[in-house]
């Protein structure tokens, strides 16, 4: 068993929190104060929060308490303390994206998903640490230091939304928002033993998300249980006039949908996700999860997704190409950091970017620029886009025969800090089971599936087709109910 200090504490459920407010056992203000005390005590150990939005949180708590005092009906997330990944904007609150290049930036507007949480009564506690520009799988690429895993502080929390996952695992927020480009919600959820949701691409508005790779980026919730995660998705999903890529399809009541049970669902188990490289302890837990689904009345069907092995190279070409374009906007002119050492405009751009960006961000900008440059475009970026179509079509064929697909979220349990930092390629391979759904645009949930004999969390990834979140939630609830 682990000997390291643990900071794990399970947050109360949304239903419990609501009952507390309705009965007057506590107030939203007292609860927010409790969370700020908890953050003050735990943050020095875990480095989860980068900044706190106390004034705004206490104003919101007072509004909720006024509603409760009048006996008015409370909105869905009344007085629920939430944290926001620091790639999402909150008006007037420092936004760093985990990078030095945004030093001092206080965005003049709210991200739509953040505003929707607040409109539903949530109390916004502050901004959460993450890998720089969401580029990383361990949270070690943050310019503000790594987040530590609450389960074992010698281990990484996963990335890039490491702070968002760790905050829920350590009860430093009841729920959080993260972003997922290649696995950045699902993998940290798995590593920290919490629920993380990858919504269908376009399901949640990205207005106010500091972009990494626009054809892949998504915003999604973390929570301590599946139903609460479904409730949060219900609040943030839906069309937004500020994001032309948001889907016009209406969002169902995901929490109610998740109550429908998993009986009769057809579950695909792809052989390629159980091949060489999968840790034996992780495999054993996932097999228990599959048995639980069988016991819940699901039909288990072995399937094959033979293009899986091409997903990582495809992902790293597509994502870096888009990143090289998106990150061109950080030039020291309009916001954030400007180098003081330059006398010409061109040198100002270059020095600001050199001094502002960390090594992994530079590596990805260079790779993406190379893949898009004259003479290489067709061989790299064009080829990757073709393979991306093959990967997406392969999923669509599979979903003609099954309702959901289950896999391990990560091939390994949380690894130690520093274990993979010297070798970028080995870090990229940590995303091997998550990048496929990212490329195909489909949705998924990472749900806790017990622990290894050493006590490290294992997550099961439940994938469903485009706009199939309800199905993914139903399956995830069945795994959760097994109490593995």
- At closest approach, how far in Å is the CB of 299 from other proteins? 23
For other proteins, the binding residue among 348, 435, 463, 484 (CB under 8 A) is 348
Q: Are the beta carbons of 127 and 115 closer than 8 angstroms?
A: no
Q: Map the footprint of other proteins across residues 211-230, applying CB under 8 A.
A: 215
**Whose Cβ is closer to other proteins: residue 300's or residue 392's?**
392
Nearest-angstrom CA–CA distance, 434 and 410? 8
- At closest approach, how far in Å is the CB of 393 from other proteins? 8
Is 160 labeled as catalytic in the residue annotation?
yes
Nearest-angstrom CA–CA distance, 434 and 185? 10
- At closest approach, how far in Å is the CB of 389 from other proteins? 4
- At closest approach, how far in Å is the CB of 20 from other proteins? 37
**# chain residues binding other proteins, by CB under 8 A:** 81
State yes or no: residue 275 binds other proteins (CB under 8 A).
no
State yes or no: residue 94 binds other proteins (CB under 8 A).
no
- At closest approach, how far in Å is the CB of 168 from other proteins? 27
Distances (CA, A) of 297 to 53, 283, 287, 400: 46, 21, 16, 20
For other proteins, the binding residue among 260, 362, 397, 416 (CB under 8 A) is 362
Q: Are the beta carbons of 380 and 324 closer than 8 angstroms?
A: no
What's the per-residue H, E or C state across the chain? Answer: CCCCCCCCCCCCCHHHHHHHHHHCCCCHHHHHHHHHHHHHHHHHHHCCEEEECHHHHHHHHHHHHHHHHHCCCCCCCCCCEEEEECCECCCCCCCCCCCHHHCCCCCCCCCHHHHHHHHCCCEEEEEECCCHHHCCCCCCCCCCCCCCECCECCECCCCCCHHHHHHHHCCCCCEEEEEECCCCCHHHHHHHCCEEEECCCCCECCCCECCCCCCCCEEEEEECCHHHHHHHHHHHECCCCCCCCCCCCCCCCHHHHHCCCCCCCEEEEEHHHHCCCCCHHHHHHHHHHHHHHHHCCCEEEEECCHHHHHHHHHHHHHHHHHHHHHHHHCCCCCCCCCCCCCCCHHHHHHHHHHHHCCHHHHHHHHHHHHHHCCCCCHHHHHHHHHHHHHHHHHHHHHHCCCCEEEEECCCCCCCECCCCCCCHHHHHHHHCCCHHHHHHCCEEEEEEEEECCCCCEEEEEEEECCCCHHHHHHHHHHHHHCCC
Tokens of 248: 């016009």
State yes or no: residue 351 binds other proteins (CB under 8 A).
yes
Is 465 labeled as catalytic in the residue annotation?
no
For other proteins, the binding residue among 193, 202, 444, 448 (CB under 8 A) is 202
Nearest-angstrom CA–CA distance, 130 and 127? 10
Q: Map the footprint of other proteins across residues 100-129, applying CB under 8 A.
A: 105-109
State yes or no: residue 266 binds other proteins (CB under 8 A).
no
State yes or no: residue 148 binds other proteins (CB under 8 A).
no
For other proteins, the binding residue among 148, 353, 420, 477 (CB under 8 A) is 353
State yes or no: residue 247 binds other proteins (CB under 8 A).
yes
**Whose Cβ is closer to other proteins: residue 50's or residue 192's?**
50
Q: Are the beta carbons of 85 and 181 closer than 8 angstroms?
A: no
- At closest approach, how far in Å is the CB of 423 from other proteins? 8
Q: Map the footprint of other proteins across residues 284-323, applying CB under 8 A.
A: 307, 309-310, 312-314, 316-317
State yes or no: residue 207 binds other proteins (CB under 8 A).
no
For other proteins, the binding residue among 343, 400, 453, 483 (CB under 8 A) is 343
Applying CB under 8 A, the span of 49-57, 61-69, 136-144, 385-393 interacting with other proteins comes to: 385-393
- At closest approach, how far in Å is the CB of 184 from other proteins? 17
**Looking at 53, 137, 161, 184, which residue is catalytic?**
184
Applying CB under 8 A, the span of 51-59, 113-121, 286-294, 378-386 interacting with other proteins comes to: 378-386
For other proteins, the binding residue among 12, 266, 283, 383 (CB under 8 A) is 383
Sign of CA dihedral 421, 424, 429, 430: positive
State yes or no: residue 51 binds other proteins (CB under 8 A).
no
For 345, phi and psi rounded to 5 degrees?
-60, -45
Applying CB under 8 A, the span of 158-166, 255-263, 354-362, 411-419 interacting with other proteins comes to: 354-362
Is 85 labeled as catalytic in the residue annotation?
yes
Burial of 237 per CB tally in 10 Å (0-12, 13-18, 19+): buried
- At closest approach, how far in Å is the CB of 347 from other proteins? 8
State yes or no: residue 382 binds other proteins (CB under 8 A).
yes
State yes or no: residue 441 binds other proteins (CB under 8 A).
yes
Applying CB under 8 A, the span of 111-119, 272-280, 408-416, 421-429 interacting with other proteins comes to: 421-429
- At closest approach, how far in Å is the CB of 307 from other proteins? 8
Q: Map the footprint of other proteins across residues 446-475, applying CB under 8 A.
A: 465-467
For other proteins, the binding residue among 89, 138, 142, 200 (CB under 8 A) is 200
State yes or no: residue 376 binds other proteins (CB under 8 A).
yes
- At closest approach, how far in Å is the CB of 108 from other proteins? 4
**Looking at 160, 164, 324, 465, which residue is catalytic?**
160
**Whose Cβ is closer to other proteins: residue 253's or residue 291's?**
253
Instruction: Report, as residue numbers or ranges, the catalytic residues.
Output: 85, 160, 184
């Amino acid at each position: 068993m682990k000997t390291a200090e643990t900071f794990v504490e399970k947050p109360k459920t949304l239903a419990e929190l609501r009952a507390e407010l309705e009965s007057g056992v506590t107030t939203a203000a007292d609860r927010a104060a409790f969370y700020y005390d908890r953050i003050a005590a735990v943050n020095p150990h875990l480095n989860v929060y980068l900044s706190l939005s106390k004034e705004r949180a206490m104003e919101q708590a007072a509004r909720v308490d006024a509603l409760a005092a009048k006996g008015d009906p409370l909105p869905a997330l009344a007085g629920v303390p939430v944290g926001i990944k620091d790639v999402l904007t909150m008006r007037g609150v420092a936004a760093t994206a985990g990078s030095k290049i945004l030093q001092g930036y206080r965005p003049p507007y709210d991200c739509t998903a953040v505003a929707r949480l607040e409109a539903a009564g949530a109390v916004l506690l502050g901004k959460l640490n993450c890998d720089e520009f969401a580029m990383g799988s361990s949270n070690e690429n943050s310019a503000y230091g790594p987040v530590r895993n609450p389960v074992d502080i010698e281990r990484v929390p996963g990335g890039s939304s490491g702070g968002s996952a760790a905050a829920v695992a350590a009860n430093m927020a009841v729920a959080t928002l993260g972003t997922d480009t290649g696995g950045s919600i699902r993998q940290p959820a798995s590593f920290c033993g919490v629920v993380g949701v990858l919504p269908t691409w376009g399901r949640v508005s990205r207005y106010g998300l500091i972009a990494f790779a626009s054809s892949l980026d998504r915003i999604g919730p973390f929570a301590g249980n599946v139903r609460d995660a479904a409730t949060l998705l219900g609040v943030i999903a839906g069309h937004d006039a500020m994001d032309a890529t948001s889907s016009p399809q209406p969002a169902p009541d995901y929490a109610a949908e998740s109550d429908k049970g998993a009986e009769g669902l057809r579950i695909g188990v792809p052989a390629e996700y159980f091949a060489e490289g999968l840790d034996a302890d992780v495999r054993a837990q996932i097999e228990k999860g599959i048995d639980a689904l069988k016991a819940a009345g699901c039909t288990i069907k072995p399937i094959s997704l033979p293009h899986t092995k091409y997903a990582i190279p495809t992902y790293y070409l597509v994502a870096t190409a888009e990143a090289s374009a998106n990150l061109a906007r950080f030039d020291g002119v309009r916001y954030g950091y400007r180098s003081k050492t330059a006398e010409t405009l061109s040198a100002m751009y270059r020095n600001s970017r050199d001094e502002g960006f960390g090594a992994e961000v530079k590596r990805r900008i260079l790779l993406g620029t190379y893949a898009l440059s004259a003479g290489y475009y067709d061989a790299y970026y064009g080829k990757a886009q073709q393979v991306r179509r093959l990967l997406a079509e392969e999923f669509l064929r599979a979903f003609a025969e099954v309702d959901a697909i289950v896999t391990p979220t990560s091939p390994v349990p949380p690894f130690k800090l520093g274990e993979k930092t010297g070798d970028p390629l080995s870090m990229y391979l940590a995303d091997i089971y998550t990048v496929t759904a990212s490329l195909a645009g489909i949705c998924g949930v990472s749900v806790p599936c017990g622990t290894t004999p050493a006590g490290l969390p294992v997550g099961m990834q439940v994938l469903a087709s485009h706009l199939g979140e309800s199905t993914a939630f139903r399956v995830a609830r069945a795994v959760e109910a097994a109490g593995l």
